[in-house]
Amino acid sequence: MRRKVSIIGAGAVGATTAQYLATRNIADIVLVDIVENLPQGKALDLLEAGPVIGYDCQIIGSNGYEATTGSDVIVITSGSPRKPGMSRDDLLRVNMNIVRSVTEQAAPLSPDAVIIVVTNPLDAMCHVALEASGFPSHRVIGQAGVLDAARFRTFVAMELGVSPRDVHAMVLGGHGDTMVPLPRYTTVSGIPVTQLIPPDRIQAIVERTRDGGGEIVRLLGTSAFYAPAASVAEMVEAVLLDENRVLAASTYLTGQYGITDLYVGVPIKLGAGGVKQVIEIELTDEERAALHRSAAAVRELVEAMRQLA
């Protein structure tokens, strides 16, 4: 039986995720959205591209959840988009209700699925999906670190005039202004970036990475979607093909890095069934303090949600 990925939310991120996954041809795809005819139209358009691109997976759109039954992966992109001048934190009240609703409808139909949350504020929304699904925490994760690292890699490559394929980076912490890019763990074909770029320029790249989403919002007037969707597709592929990829993702910590009962971005081993291992890397006192500040910001959101509930 062919594997199935259900994407809840057929907006720009959801539809582009479906497109990237279709080109990989590794699973059938279901697009779900409350807007009548939107997921059906996008699914049909993607399906008709198959003969040209060369994929033969099935892609369907639906305004309900029955078609998602038996999904291997559920991707949650539903939510209010980020608008100019709006922080991720501003999205808290509206998006927690949306994520709770879609999770409660999708999870019972696919009790063995891995849930990948994309909706912002990302780390807080993972808590909502975890509670609403009743799944074990290793099967509920958030897409953040792959995107944040991709932005960091892009800016390093631009600075050096090298291929971004040769740049590897690590970004920890909450998905937002308090994220923690780690120059010490960033390399260009194995060469530490600290040997290639002056400290002041590294700091400028770190700041641009932290503001990566906001920069896109200011330019487009809405949230990014190409890079987030590509990052989701990479995570979905790691799960479906049991690749054991070492990627950064928002993961429920149970004492690792001195953080307990909180979703925070850290490196994990990702494969079939979700998180197989939380990887603890050595941090300096400054890096650990920055990670804990980021975690504290996430915890504030979680507490705020409890008061709103």
Q: Does the pTM of the predicted model rise above 0.75? A: yes
Q: Is 13 exposed, middle or buried (0-12, 13-18, 19+ CB in 10 A)?
A: buried
Average pLDDT over residues 212-237: 94
Are 174 and 75 in the same domain? no
Give 12's pLDDT tier (boundaries 50, 70, 90).
very high
Average pLDDT over residues 191-209: 97
Are 180 and 86 in the same domain? no
Question: Does the structure show a pLDDT above 90 at 260?
Answer: yes
Are 198 and 274 in the same domain? yes
pLDDT number for residue 87 = 63
CATH number at residue 211: 3.90.110.10
Are 286 and 165 in the same domain? yes
Give 1's pLDDT tier (boundaries 50, 70, 90).
confident
- Model confidence over 74-117: pLDDT tens digits? 999 999 866 667 665 677 888 999 999 999 999 999 999 999 99
Are 125 and 152 in the same domain? no
Position 233, amino acid:
A
The percent of residues in the chain predicted with pLDDT above 70, rounded, is: 96
* Residue pair 115/133 in contact by the 8 Å Cβ criterion: yes
Average pLDDT over residues 29-53: 98
Are 151 and 259 in the same domain? yes
Are 89 and 170 in the same domain? no
CATH number at residue 115: 3.40.50.720
Q: Are strands 260-271 and 245-254 parallel, antiparallel or unpaired?
A: antiparallel
Are 161 and 302 in the same domain? yes
Position 55, amino acid:
Y
Please give the residue range of the domain that contains residue 277: 145-308
Are 295 and 166 in the same domain? yes
Average pLDDT over residues 141-147: 95
Domain boundary among 142, 160, 178: 142
Question: Which of 14-18, 119-123, 194-198, 232-236 bottoms out in mean pLDDT, i.e. has the lowest?
Answer: 119-123
* Residue pair 228/128 in contact by the 8 Å Cβ criterion: no
Q: Which two tokens stand for residue 26?
A: 């590794």
Neighbours of 189 (CB within 10 A): 10
Q: Which two tokens stand for residue 254?
A: 């149970």
* Residue pair 92/98 in contact by the 8 Å Cβ criterion: no
Question: Does the structure show a pLDDT above 70 at 273?
Answer: yes
Q: Which two tokens stand for residue 12?
A: 């720009």
pLDDT number for residue 89 = 62
Are 102 and 168 in the same domain? no
Domain boundary among 117, 142, 167: 142
Are 114 and 26 in the same domain? yes
In DSSP terms, which residues pair with 267 in a beta bridge? 248
Average pLDDT over residues 212-234: 94
| Average confidence score pLDDT of the chain | 95
b/e per residue, 229-243, with b = 16+ CB within 10 A? bbbbbbbbbbbbeeb
Give 45's pLDDT tier (boundaries 50, 70, 90).
very high
Q: For 151, what's the count of Cα atoms within 13 Å in the CB-facing half-sphere?
A: 28
Domain boundary among 142, 168, 185: 142
Q: In what order do the strands lie in the sheet with 28-32?
A: 59-62, 28-32, 4-8, 73-76, 114-117, 140-142, 245-254, 260-271, 274-278
Average pLDDT over residues 145-155: 97
Instruction: Give the number of domains in the chain.
Output: 2
Question: Does the structure show a pLDDT above 90 at 128?
Answer: yes
* Catalytic annotation, pick one of 127, 138, 168, 175: 175
Q: Is 75 exposed, middle or buried (0-12, 13-18, 19+ CB in 10 A)?
A: buried
Question: Does the structure show a pLDDT above 70 at 31?
Answer: yes
For residue 175, indicate whether it is catalytic.
yes
pLDDT number for residue 94 = 86
- Model confidence over 279-303: pLDDT tens digits? 999 999 999 999 999 999 999 999 9
Question: Does the structure show a pLDDT above 90 at 247?
Answer: yes
Are 276 and 149 in the same domain? yes
